[in-house]
Amino acid sequence: MKTTALVFNVLWVLALVPAIMMAMMSPMMFDAPGSEKNTLLWVILWATFLLPVLILITQIFAWIKFFSGNYPLSLRIGFIPLIDVAFIFFLYLILGSK
């Protein structure tokens, strides 16, 4: 469990850089005329903006629990950003079907 939690949390720390880049580029979704009125794009924008913040907060708590020896809780805390990633993916699927 210790190795799994360690690998998973290191991967999230490495994923923080692409998440920040994705958040910086996400306002480009509003380039098309009239796209600022699309509610789904606004939800995607805020979900994308919150992903780096969520990764940072959960990783702080996950590493605290990891170094205190609570490896299962560290791993479970590390899974929280996956909810946002799945939500963003689901929203893009909905957007693509329109």
* pLDDT recorded at residue 2: 87
Give the predicted TM-score (pTM) of the model. Answer: 0.86
For the residues 8-37, what does the mean pLDDT come to? 92
Pick the more confident residue, 95 or 48: 48
* pLDDT recorded at residue 52: 96
Burial class (CB in 10 A: 0-12, 13-18, 19+), 14: exposed
The tens digit of pLDDT for each residue in 50-75 reads 999 999 999 999 999 999 999 999 99
- Round the average pLDDT of the chain to a whole number and report it: 92
pLDDT band at 43 (very low <50, low <70, confident <90, very high): very high
